[in-house]
Structure formats: structure tokens, C-alpha cells
Amino acid sequence: MKAQLEEVDTARQAAQTQVRDVVLLRSRLLQQTFAALRDAPRKVLGEWARTTSGSTPPRGDKRYWSPAEIPWVKTGEVAFAPITQTEEAISRQALADCSLTLLPPQTVLIAMYGQGKTRGQSAMLQIEATTNQACFAILPNDTWDVDFLHHWLMASYEDLRGLSDGRGGNQANLNGALLNALEIPAPDIVGQRRTVAVLKTQLAEAAAIHQAATTQLAEIERLPQRLLAQAFNPSTTQGDVT
């Protein structure tokens, strides 16, 4: 039994390493894709795209939160995944009174601050929505393909966090001025879409490997319990352990 459990532990460590390696592979694919565009023309974000942020309607005024009619995004929901729904919604009265912009689908959001890893994360709206003041919104435009822009932001996550880290102070936050000053690769739209198509294929292959490795790890995690059950229940067949 001890030898079997040691083998399981060895297999677990190998599977955990594979999962970590696939996560790193995803990051490398993003980095390599945009590093290859280092000679492409660059444009300043704020000069070539409309950007904005939102606000938080006063919580004490029920008119702004009921009826809950319009999705309202918080930074915790900006997490490198499409946004198709939100935890909270505001009223149309809030939209009219509280310096909020109704953002269209394919708006790209960046979390300007938030706890832990949130700051610098990005996401794409799949719905019409508003945001709080901690979300920076880049509206759809003719300069950047939305998928190209979002993948570039994902590849630039650590760089974005570094922008605010360098500012000092008790809370390292991003702001509109820093983000509007970003110089982003801007090849022609056809080239952008070609780049994204290749990248998406590579990321899909990495995701499939990650899923397989995660499934394998989950199976390995269940093995010790099965081995113990077999040890204390001689009627358990060998096939039940695999």
C-alpha cells in the first residue's frame, strides 16, 4: 500500500507540473505573438479610440437600483472572460443622473484597481452594460479589431500592473491618463485579424491540453481513497481502482 501511495504522489506531482506548464504556455503564446509585431506601427490609445469610465450610483437612493434594468459591471467581474451577465444592475434613472455611459457589446474593459490580481485584467462585453468608476472602457473603433486589442491587453497584463506599481503611494492604481497614453501595435485590420486567427488556434490547442491535464489530475487525486477502500474491502476489484 505504501509503495502504491508513493506512486500516486509521484503521478500527482507530474500532473500538477503539466497543468502549470500549460498555463505558462498560454502566456508564452500571447507574448510571442505580440513580440513578433515589434516593428508594426503603433498608435496612442486615447488618440484613436473613444474611452470612458463609469460611476457608482448612491446606494442609499433606491430609485437608482430598482427596478434593476441595466447591467452594471464591477472590477471583480473583469477577469479575462467574456461578460454576458452581471451581478448587479441599475435603473434607467441612474443612467440618466449618474454620469454613466451605456456601453455597446464588444467594448473592452480594463480593471483600473481591485484586490489581488484584479488590477490590469481585461474583458470584453457581450451585452450592453454600464460600469463602476474602477473600470476603463474602450469602445469599438476602426483602429483596432476588438479581439486583437483584447488579446494584446491580456499579453500586456504584467506591464499594465507595472505602470501603476511605479507610481508609488499606498494604493497602486491605474487611471485613465495612464491607459489613454498606451502605445498599441496597429497594423492594418486585415493583418490584425490574421494574427488573432492564428493565436486563437494555438490557444484552443493549449486549452485542450489544459483540460486533459486537469482531468487527469482530478482522477489521480481520487486514487488514494480508492486504494484505501480496496485495502479495507477485499471484495473491491482491481478494475474499481483504475
pLDDT in single tens digits along all 242 residues of the chain: 566 656 666 767 666 776 676 678 888 999 999 999 999 999 999 999 999 999 999 999 999 999 999 999 999 999 999 999 999 999 999 999 999 999 999 999 999 987 789 999 999 999 999 999 999 999 999 999 999 999 999 999 999 998 877 555 555 799 999 999 999 999 999 999 999 999 999 998 888 887 787 787 777 777 666 656 666 666 555 444 44
pTM of the predicted structure, to 2 decimals:
0.80
Give the range of the structural domain holding residue 168, as residue numbers without chain letter. Answer: 41-186
Together in a domain, 12 and 130: no
Together in a domain, 206 and 96: no
Residues 138, 144, 145: CA angle, nearest 5 degrees: 100
Specify if 35 maps to a domain: no
Q: Cis link prior to 67 (omega < 30° from 0)?
A: yes
Specify if 233 maps to a domain: yes
Specify if 159 maps to a domain: yes
Q: Return the pLDDT at 15.
A: 67
CA 112 distance to own-chain centroid: 14
Together in a domain, 98 and 173: yes
Distance CA 48, CA 183 (A): 10
Please report, for the domain that includes residue 118, its CATH number: 3.90.220.20
Distance CA 72, CA 169 (A): 29
Specify if 34 maps to a domain: no
Together in a domain, 67 and 128: yes
Together in a domain, 143 and 220: no
Q: List residues bridging with 185 in a β-sheet.
A: 42
